[in-house]
Each structure stands twice: as structure tokens, then as C-alpha cells.
Amino acid sequence: MLAPYLIGIAVLIVIPALVTFALAVFEYDLIRSPRFAGLENFRELAGDDVFRTSVRNSLMFILFAVPLRLLGALGLALLLHQRYRGVGAYRTAAYLPTVVPDVAYALLWLWIFNPLYGPLNLALEAIGGPTPRWLTDPRDAQWAVIIMSLFQIGEGFVVALATRQGLPRELYELAAIEDARPWYVFGRVTLPLMAPTLLLLMFRDTIFSFQANFVPALIVTDGGPPPYATTYLPLFVYQNAFEYLRYGYAAAATLVMFGVTALIVYAQWRIVKRWRHAFVV
């Protein structure tokens, strides 16, 4: 019974991972025979300014996108966990952007961010607000990619909602009897009980965020505006592999991306472990 899953893991995960490890030490362009390069690809990455820029952009994206996405999922879960008229429609609306195909989603935001006739800038202009240059200014373009990611939080929302609905009602009844304020109940009851789930969502979102910016950066901003303002690690790998046909170099960059992801998750785990020990004490 496990055979279909084991075959799927082997074909879709294990074999591609082994091929990536092998390609990282070769120079290969699909035309000439592979040439063993050793650590040459990694040494070139160390001196590649575009690669360093893509690493910095990816880390900045994670720094802002992950906490904002987590807060958004938690906020929606707390807002929509109670049963009232129309709540099902609101929950569906919160989850809907997550199931929209990435390309269609990116094309929709390409229209929204249009500086001339995009609805976002037209609405900001109508209320007298600033009108950012979403597609031409480097800093605005980075925030555009972050904003796009904030609406695709359906999976985190569903997990947070299920966690909130599973909390014991007796604790909230006792808090109501004690006339506890909502913020006190949230800080002393809701947040501590939901913390393990939220931490898992943070770990998952950190890993996911290294890949979530690929389609927006490719379709909406095309890695720009110059100089490489929205060139993230997945886009850097894609360009070197499929545009420049440098498969060995792209494989080496992929391994670095996996390594950076593992280090970030490990650092988060260490911080959480220290927090748990302090909390227990």
C-alpha cells in the first residue's frame, strides 16, 4: 500500500535531488558533454554580484513576508472562527486567492499595479494618498511582490482556524466569568495555546517563501527594475538554467538556496527552543 507514495517520492524528490547534487560539480549546457568542475561553480557563485543580490533580496522578502503572512492568517482565523450569518462566504473568500493559478494571479496583479490605469494607484490618488511606482522603482517593486504574497495565505488560515476552533470553550467561559478583557484573554489564553501551531506555520512559511516569489518576480517585475531589485534565488536559478543553459551553475545555486533555508529554519528552531525553556521555567 505504501508503494505508490514511495515511488512518487523517489521519482519526484529523491532522484531530482541526487541529480542536482551531481550537476552541481559539473559544467553542463545540454549541448556539450558534461565536464567535471569540482567546486568551481561554488567559487564562481561566491564572486557573483547578481547571486549575492538575489540572496539579499530573498532574505529581505522572508524578513517581511513571513511575519506579515503569519499575522494575516492568525487575524483572519480569530475574526472568522465564530459562527454567524455569511461566515462561510467570508472563509471561502479568504481561501480563494490561494487556489488561483500562480500565472493568472500574477497577471491580475500586473494590472492592479499598473501606474497609469491600475485600480490601486487610482484609488490612492482619489483619496489623496501617495502613488508608488510599483513596477519601475526598486523599493516599490520589492514591496509589490511582498503585497502579492499576503493574499495567498489560505492554507495557513485554515490551519489557524482549525486550531482556534479546537481550543477548550471552558477557558473562555471562565475568562468571561472573571470579566477578563479581550486583549488579556488573547495574550494569556489564545496565543499560548495556539503558539505550537503558529510556530509550525512559521517554519513552513519560511521554506515556502523561498519559492513563492518566483512567478511574481518573473511575470510582474521580470527580476527588475534595475539593478536586479526583484531577482530572488529561484529566479536566479531559472535564468541560469533555462536562459543561459548553465545547468551545473544553477544546480550549485539551488544547493546554496537549500542550505540557506536549512540554516534559517535551524535558527528559528533554536530560538523557539530557548523560548520554550524560559516559558517552562
- pLDDT given at position 95: 92
- pLDDT given at position 281: 42
The answer, as to whether pTM is greater than 0.85, is yes
255, HSE (Cβ side, Cα atoms, 13 Å): 19
Containing 2, the helix (H) or strand (E) segment is none
Among 202, 192, 161, 226, which Cα is nearest to 65's?
202
- pLDDT given at position 210: 80
Single-letter amino acid, residue 243: E
In order of their start, the domains of the chain are 3-280 (1.10.3720.10)
Q: State the 10-residue block means of pLDDT for the chain, 281 residues long.
A: 89 88 88 87 92 93 93 93 88 91 92 89 90 90 93 92 91 86 88 88 86 88 87 93 91 91 84 64 42
- pLDDT given at position 278: 56
Task: Give me 84's grid cell.
Answer: 454567524
